[in-house]
Structure formats: structure tokens, C-alpha cells
Amino acid sequence: MLLSVPGKGVDATIVMGVNEGTYDPEHDHVVSNASCTANCVAPVVKVVDEHFGLVKGLMTTIHGYTDDQVVLDGPHKDLRRGRSAAVNIIPTSTGAARAVGLVLPELSGTLDGIAVRVPVEDGSLTDLSAVLDRPVTADEVNAAFREAADGPLKGVLRVSHAPIVSRDIVGDPASCVLDAPLTQAHGELVKVFGWYDNEWGYTNRLLDLTEYGAARLPYA
């Protein structure tokens, strides 16, 4: 069974391009494809950690409103999220940073984050600030992402050098579109931004994981 949401008590949480190699068809019968935000930020974290060593980090997802929000102010267990989605910028929680620890267990506990829901129907952005093992430059960081996008993360990660906004990535099949001009570095501190179509990009990874898992079943 493949879940298109983060799951509790699942056998495995898989993010394509990050940890699909850990899938075990003999034991992983209920598999989560994590969330759209986790699918965006996990490849970013993987690249940063593999090239520079990630000590700790904080992420923010600036996310289009979702179906659990309301058009008019109303009751909700999260009082902020109960405010009108169409006219407010709404800070709320996200499990995406913690989910990175499920797919990259060596980084468990090193990341945390929040979500900020904004009045757009689709097209979201992750902002990751991380402390690294060594000083870096923005050019070094962008070069690492270009290498990954042309190699092991091809199709999952794309690097853009254009002055894009959220509408420009709607319909993009990548899990993450790294915005190279926005990359900043200050010694061991780095900030990177990744755009994602939180509907279409995630759907593409769901299909990829379906095909990947099906091809490895004993009766495939």
C-alpha cells in the first residue's frame, strides 16, 4: 500500500532521489511518499550534507493554502489556520523538517521548521538556513546543486538561474527547483531557496515511487 500523505506507523517513508534504495519489498508493505514539502526539502538537505556537512538547520515553507483551511474565519484546532485562507498570511506547523530525519536518519534531530500559508492556490517555496562543517561560497553551493541536478537527482532537482516567481513553476514536474540567484552564504551559514509545485511535482514523485516499488515486488 502506498500512501500519498505522511503516515504514522508505516513500514517506510520514501522520498525519491533520497532514500528509495532502502525500500525492502519483503518487509515494507505500507509505504508513505512523505509530503510535498518533504519531497522538496529532503533532496536539498541531501546535497548540502553530502558536499559540505550539515550541522543544523531551520526551514520555512511558504506554502499555498490547502483544503483544510477555510474561506471565512471559522473554528479550527489551530486558531491561526482557522482564519480566512484567501486574505491572510498564516504561520502554522509543518512536519517536513522532522520527516527529513526519517529519510536521512543520520540527520535526525538536526532540522526544525515552520510553515507560512499564503493566498495562492498552487506553487510553494522552501527557505532552508543551515550551519555547515566549513565556510562556503554561494558559487560553491550552486555548483553542488547543478552537479546533482545533472547527475543522481536528475528529474527530481532542477536549478534555475532565472528571476522566477511562484506562478512560473506551476506545472513543473521536479520535486525542487533550486533558485540559484537567491543562494546566500556567510562563512559556515548558508541559505538556499527551492520552489515546488506542491501538487504536480508531488504527483510525479508518487508515480515514480509506484513504478519503482512495483518493479521490485516478488511477483513483478
List beta partners, residue 113: 59
> Which three cell numbers, joined as nine digits, stand for 80?
491561526
> Which three cell numbers, joined as nine digits, stand for 173?
514536474
Q: Is the dihedral of CA 196, 155, 209, 47 positive or negative?
A: negative
Q: Is the dihedral of CA 213, 214, 218, 220 positive or negative?
A: negative
Place of cell 531557496: 193
Active-site choice (16, 36, 100, 128):
36
Confirm whether 40 is a catalytic residue: no
The dihedrals phi and psi of 180, each to the nearest 5 degrees, come to -60, -40
Q: What is the C-alpha separation between 8 and 157, in angstroms, rounded?
A: 27
Q: What is the C-alpha separation between 58 and 196, in angstroms, rounded?
A: 18
Residues with active-site annotation:
36
